[in-house]
Amino acid sequence: MENVVVIRYGEIALKGLNKRYFEDKLVSQIHNAISDLGKLRVYKAHSRIYVDIDNHNVNDITERVKKVFGIVSLSVAKRFEVDMDKIREVALQELKDRMEENSNIKTFKVESKRADKRFPLKSLEISRDVGGYLLENTDNISVDVHNPDIVINVEVRDKAFVFSNKIKGFGGLPLGTNGKALLLLSGGIDSPVAGWLVGKRGVEIEAIHFHSYPFTSDRAKEKVLDLAKILSIYCGKFKLYSINLLPIQKEINEKCPEQEMTILSRRFMMQIAEKVGVENNCDALITGESIGQVASQTVKSLYVTNASVDMPVFRPLIAMDKVDIMALAEKIGTYETSILPFEDCCTVFLPKHPVTQPKLDRIMKSEDALDVERLIDEAIENMEVEKITLED
């Protein structure tokens, strides 16, 4: 009998002729996620992926695996040769183990699946048989088919599987199956979540960050690095481009109307991101914008910002409420870091009354006072690049 992690994937099974490609990607992503935990075999069979466990720490493995995009759920199962006596015995042991761990378990149910139709008992019959056996051989527990405290699962395939837990994955698609996009990453709550959501759709991520040093602190940069590291738990290794926007902000400050500072800065950021994106094979930009959150995120402002680039801009948070974004940030583990007080964006230049209803022609006219191309090129020339990995 062996211990094995059974990994189920939903959506990618639908991908027709590409299915194999998606599955192989998923296998390799899972492998990447746990390769430093010891020698572990990851393989697919019959529309599932398995990880064979030996003396490894099971929790470490499941904690890592459940964060891999494309996984619907996983279970830690016992696997053995198909044999009804053995199934009863293993199921009983599983139930006893769980009851020992948790004294609140008072009801159970057996669920069965028969993938191998040559097996003489139908799934309902397996459940009834095993359930009866369990009931006979345990005390203080009864059957509840509607709302059980625990479900003992039995599956009959080429081998028999018994398990009682089902850990939910994040779903989505395996990383790297959908091209690459560049995330505009700030130190705030929203942008890491936006990157995560798009990453979940299998899109490889790179990130670009804007600061105003020395008007902002190095600690703010460190904070963005920390956020990027958390993202890389899900999105793998990626590059973080760091741009000092201060020279541009100074120029805007000097030559353009005060209330347009923010929207003009946003347009510069988008254009710089687009240019860096093109140079690094990204086909889209990702932002954490959400309608109405701040002055630069009214629909009119978004229109003006959007008009500065040709590349598609993904805004996965566009219609989400702040509380929901915060809840997601907590779930993926970026919230704590995001709320640290260091400002990454310069508040010195924050206009007292920023425009909320900008007009594109007027904004573009303001830009006429600036040597936009030169400013963008200079900003990119002075760009710093950091490789983000989980280690260190």
Please identify, using beta-carbon distances, which residue of 80 and 215 lies nearer to another protein: 215
Span interacting with another protein, options 138-146, 228-236, 237-245, 340-348, rule CB under 8 A: 340-348
97-106: long-range contacts at Cβ-Cβ below 8 A with a sequence spacing of 24 or more? 98/150, 98/164, 99/138, 99/141, 104/149, 105/141, 105/149, 105/150, 106/140, 106/141, 106/142, 106/149
> Is 342 a residue that touches another protein (CB under 8 A)?
yes
Task: Tell me how long the chain is.
Answer: 392
102 to 161, contacts with another protein by CB under 8 A?
none
Question: Cβ of residue 24: shortest distance to another protein, in angstroms?
Answer: 48
> Is 259 a residue that touches another protein (CB under 8 A)?
no
Please identify, using beta-carbon distances, which residue of 73 and 253 lies nearer to another protein: 253
Question: Cβ of residue 254: shortest distance to another protein, in angstroms?
Answer: 8
56 to 75, contacts with another protein by CB under 8 A?
none
Beta strands per DSSP E along the chain: 2-8, 41-45, 48-53, 71-80, 107-114, 142-143, 150-156, 160-163, 167-171, 180-184, 204-211, 238-244, 284-286, 313-314, 384-388
The owner of tokens 């902000």 is 249
Total residues contacting another protein (rule CB under 8 A)? 15
Span interacting with another protein, options 106-114, 140-148, 284-292, 337-345, rule CB under 8 A: 337-345
Question: Cβ of residue 215: shortest distance to another protein, in angstroms?
Answer: 5
Please identify, using beta-carbon distances, which residue of 5 and 227 lies nearer to another protein: 227
Please identify, using beta-carbon distances, which residue of 16 and 341 lies nearer to another protein: 341
Query: Could you count the other beta carbons within 10 Å of the beta carbon of residue 104?
Result: 8
Question: Cβ of residue 243: shortest distance to another protein, in angstroms?
Answer: 17
Span interacting with another protein, options 14-22, 68-76, 267-275, 339-347, rule CB under 8 A: 339-347
Question: Cβ of residue 208: shortest distance to another protein, in angstroms?
Answer: 21
Question: Cβ of residue 189: shortest distance to another protein, in angstroms?
Answer: 16
CA distances from residue 47 to 23, 121, 304, 336 in whole angstroms, order as listed: 8, 23, 47, 38
> Is 258 a residue that touches another protein (CB under 8 A)?
yes
Question: Cβ of residue 216: shortest distance to another protein, in angstroms?
Answer: 7
DSSP, collapsed to helix, strand or coil, labels residue 244 as: strand
185 to 224, contacts with another protein by CB under 8 A?
213-218
| Residues 342-372: b if buried by 16+ CB within 10 A, e if exposed | ebbbbeebeeeebbeebeeeebeebbeebeb
Query: Could you count the other beta carbons within 10 Å of the beta carbon of residue 192?
Result: 29
**CA 222/CA 240 separation, integer angstroms:** 12
**CA 155/CA 123 separation, integer angstroms:** 9
Please identify, using beta-carbon distances, which residue of 55 and 347 lies nearer to another protein: 347
Question: Cβ of residue 214: shortest distance to another protein, in angstroms?
Answer: 3
Task: Please pick, from the candidates 19, 20, 122, 250, the single residue that binds another protein as defined by CB under 8 A.
Answer: 250
Name which of 221, 201, 202, 208 is nearest 182 in CA terms.
Answer: 208
Q: β-pairing, 142-143 with 107-114?
A: parallel
Please identify, using beta-carbon distances, which residue of 179 and 214 lies nearer to another protein: 214
Q: Which residues bind another protein (CB under 8 A)?
A: 213-218, 250, 253-254, 258, 341-343, 347-348
